[in-house]
């Protein structure tokens, strides 16, 4: 059985001042990370789905941060997630 070596690519997308890092996965789809929110990560089968999925992850991260008193980066204070 021959292994196919698909290199995954990592690229950055900036929307509304927020940096997103997307990595194409060898098996398909994209992992998406928000570097300024440690541990905020999601996955989508397409680029568009990955962007939609990270919105939910960001909302959860911000909710927990507010409850726990974790400092929230300035660009997220007045963020409207629907606008991303």
Q: What is the DSSP annotation of the chain?
A: -PPP-PPP-EEEEEETTEEEEEEE-TTSSEEEE-TTSTT-EEEESSHHHHHHHHHHHHHHHHHHHHHHT----GGGTT--GGG-
Q: Per the structure block, which two tokens stand in for 26?
A: 């060898």
**pLDDT tens across 33-68, in order?**
999 999 999 999 998 999 999 999 999 999 999 999
When the pLDDT of each residue in the chain is averaged and rounded to a whole number, the result is 86
On the question of pLDDT at 4 being above 50, the answer is no
pTM for this one?
Answer: 0.80
Residue 75: phi and psi, rounded to 5, are -65, -10
| Contact (CB, 8 A) for 79 and 56 | no
CATH number of 10-68: 3.30.160
* Domain assignments of the chain as residue spans, ordered by start: 10-68
8 or 67: which leads in pLDDT: 67
């Amino acid at each position: 059985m021959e292994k196919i070596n698909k290199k995954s690519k990592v690229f950055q997308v900036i929307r509304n001042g927020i940096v997103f890092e997307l990595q194409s996965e060898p098996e398909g789809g994209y992992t998406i990370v928000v570097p300024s929110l440690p541990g905020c990560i999601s996955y989508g089968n397409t680029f568009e789905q990955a962007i939609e999925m990270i919105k939910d992850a960001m909302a959860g991260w911000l909710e927990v941060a507010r409850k726990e008193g974790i400092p929230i980066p300035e660009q997220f204070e007045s963020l409207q997630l629907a606008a991303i």
